[in-house]
Amino acid sequence: MEESSFVTALKNESLPALQRIPKSDLHSHAGRGGHISYIEKYANVKITPNQRPFESLFEMNQWLKDNVKCHLPQGAEGYLKQVEGSFVQAAADNVTVLALSFCVDEIQLLGGMESFKNTIDGLQKRFAPDTVLLPDLGLGYSTEEVNDLDEIFSYKWFSGIDIMNGAGTYTMSELKSICGKAKDNGLILKAHIGEFGEPEDVLRYAEELGLDQIQHGVLAAKSEKIMRYLADNQIQLNVCPTSNVMLKVSADYKTHPIHTLFANGVKVTINTDDLLIFNSTLSEEYLKLYKAGMKASDLEVIRQTGLHYS
């Protein structure tokens, strides 16, 4: 078989060549997907990227406040500059399929669903016109969110939901009812599971909620039984290697669980999570895994998996 240009780019360790090839990013938080250099240019400041792993999510969020948000206008204006950065980055790295998670408070910040969707669509058309946007509704920050679901879903704008911190906010039966409603509206069901906590959480939430995709899910690599369940049911894990290293979920790229997950037939994709914080582009993620021993042909399978969304 002829070697694909992506495989050649990996073997040559050529970042510019990797950047030119279409890729997907299916796990990215809308306001955090931009590149630090974009904010630097806009605010005319120098931002030193974070150098060592964070001790907690709290420390991570504090870093963003102290190093990025402090240079941006407050409220909607600063938020939109961050989202703009995500689209600019998608275009720069040829991310042709981009799933961005937006939370309910972000919709409220822009004055409700009508103006929210028009504004975001406008940014996408202007800064990443060749990118297919798959917006996810991020849930799990406050039980008040559920009051807005009917109205939000009625716009048929979101393609999926992404439950974050679900276990901290909702009971399993509340989550089931949210997922049922989303499913009735034809949405893809995703949840952040298996980053922290126990491997069994991955199986429990996937089974009980009928998840289509899992954000992270890397703890599943500790259990052959769970990996078999994910593989048999074609449940896709949207994995973010640098995020895992920077939050001490994985010690490094060589020992990252994605190697085991892929070898066990689990459907995985490679994604950035919070590029503005972790400072590693999608092309750089692929290159890091290649240098850490993953076969170029396997990384090509993973790239293709991400591009075949439906």
Instruction: Name the site residues for Zn ion (rule: CB under 5 A).
Output: 273
Using the minimum distance from each CB to Zn ion, give the nearer residue, 10 or 270: 270
Instruction: Report, in Å, the least distance between residue 273 CB and Zn ion.
Output: 5
Q: CB nearer to Zn ion: give 17 or 167.
A: 167
Of 9 and 191, nearer to Zn ion (C-beta) is 191
Q: How far is the CB of 230 from Zn ion (least distance, A)?
A: 18
- Here the tokens at position 122 are 């406008």
Nearest to 163 by CA among 133, 129, 198, 193: 193
Q: Report, in Å, the least distance between residue 29 CB and Zn ion.
A: 6
Name the residue with the smallest CB distance to Zn ion. Answer: 273
Nearer residue to Zn ion within complex by CB, 25 or 273: 273
- For Zn ion, the closer of residues 19 and 165 by Cβ is 165
Alpha-carbon span 82 to 38, nearest angstrom:
9
Distance (Å, rounded) from C-alpha 217 to C-alpha 239? 7
Cβ atoms of residues 197 and 173 within 8 Å = no
Report how far residue 89's alpha carbon sits from residue 34's, in angstroms, rounded to the nearest whole number.
6
